[in-house]
């Protein structure tokens, strides 16, 4: 299933969500400007390498730009290709605005980064000797999805459902769309032995999603309930409504 849009209005402009998307796009363009070898060097310098993070290996001195701990943050803004970037930004745009709306801009920044850290560390912990760099916003965005699931499970999401040679666009509850997404991450992780088969850090997705579910009760405004009724916006301080 491929989500396209949700019918869940917000009352504040999602400036952090938009800024994050812009930052990821700019970072990707910067990667592309470096060329093949330069882009690869950037991935090793700014991506999370579990063995380096846990002091089980060292990067060549010419590739060290930051302390290993800092790459947990820089890795969130790099992507391995245009489809990797586009898929992540689509999910962030659809679901990030409402999660930002539920807690405000400043809290959303902290929430997003914490989910990304939890995802990266979780995947690294599963494979502490791996020397394969991890990059992408998937882990942090998975946290956004976990939060959205608890906040707005009844919100309707316009979704493309493949049916063999054909596809159908239907509006499905977020509980079904995001629940299906999470189950697929578990199955994919099991098929890969919890690893990075196919270049995907599946456990980072799972860890980020769980982190989002755990953190959302702590970060949302008190007047924003969990399991919000369908298609109703939470009552927040004055702001502008967006569709």
Q: What is the dihedral of CA 167, 169, 173, 175, to 10 degrees?
A: 30
CATH superfamily of 2-219: Rhomboid-like (1.20.1540.10)
Taking the C-alpha atoms of residue 52 and residue 60, their distance in angstroms, rounded to an integer, is 11
Per-residue pLDDT tens over the stretch 206-234 = 999 999 999 999 999 999 999 987 554 44
pLDDT of residue 242: 42
The residue assigned the tokens 């796009």 is: 25
Kindly report the pTM of this predicted structure.
0.89
pLDDT of residue 164: 79
pLDDT of residue 107: 98
pLDDT of residue 46: 97
At 99, which helix (H) or strand (E)? helix 82-103
pLDDT of residue 117: 97
Per-residue b/e over 103-115, b at no fewer than 16 CB within 10 Å?
bbeebbeebbebb
The residue assigned the tokens 């809290």 is: 107
pLDDT of residue 241: 42
pLDDT of residue 89: 97
Taking the C-alpha atoms of residue 131 and residue 168, their distance in angstroms, rounded to an integer, is 41
Per-residue pLDDT tens over the stretch 158-190 = 999 888 788 899 999 999 999 999 999 998 887
pLDDT of residue 195: 55
Tokens of residue 70, six digits = 């800092």
Q: What ranges make up the beta strands (E) of the chain?
A: 2-6, 156-163, 166-173
* Residue ranges of the chain whose pLDDT lies below 50: 232-243
């Amino acid at each position: 299933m491929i989500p396209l849009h949700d019918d869940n209005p917000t009352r504040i402009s999602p400036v952090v969500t938009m800024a994050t998307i812009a930052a990821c796009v700019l970072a990707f363009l910067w990667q592309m400007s470096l060329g093949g070898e330069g882009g690869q060097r950037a991935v090793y310098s700014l991506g999370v390498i579990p063995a380096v993070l846990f002091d089980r290996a060292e990067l060549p001195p010419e590739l060290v730009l930051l302390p290993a701990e800092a790459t947990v943050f820089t890795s969130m803004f790099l992507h391995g290709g245009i489809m990797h970037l586009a898929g992540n930004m689509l999910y962030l745009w659809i679901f990030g605005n409402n999660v930002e709306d539920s807690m405000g801009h400043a809290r959303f920044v902290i929430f997003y980064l914490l989910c990304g850290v939890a995802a990266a560390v979780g995947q690294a912990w599963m494979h502490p000797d791996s020397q394969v760099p991890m990059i992408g916003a998937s882990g942090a965005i998975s946290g956004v999805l976990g939060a959205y699931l608890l906040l707005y499970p009844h919100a309707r999401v316009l979704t493309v459902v493949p049916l063999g040679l054909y596809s159908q666009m239907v509006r499905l509850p977020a509980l079904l769309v995001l629940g299906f997404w999470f189950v697929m991450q578990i199955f994919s992780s099991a098929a890969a032995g919890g690893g990075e088969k196919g270049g995907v850090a599946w456990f980072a997705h799972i860890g980020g999603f769980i982190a989002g579910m755990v953190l959302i009760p702590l970060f949302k405004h008190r007047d924003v309930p969990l399991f919000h009724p369908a298609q109703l916006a939470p009552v927040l301080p004055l702001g502008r409504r967006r569709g």
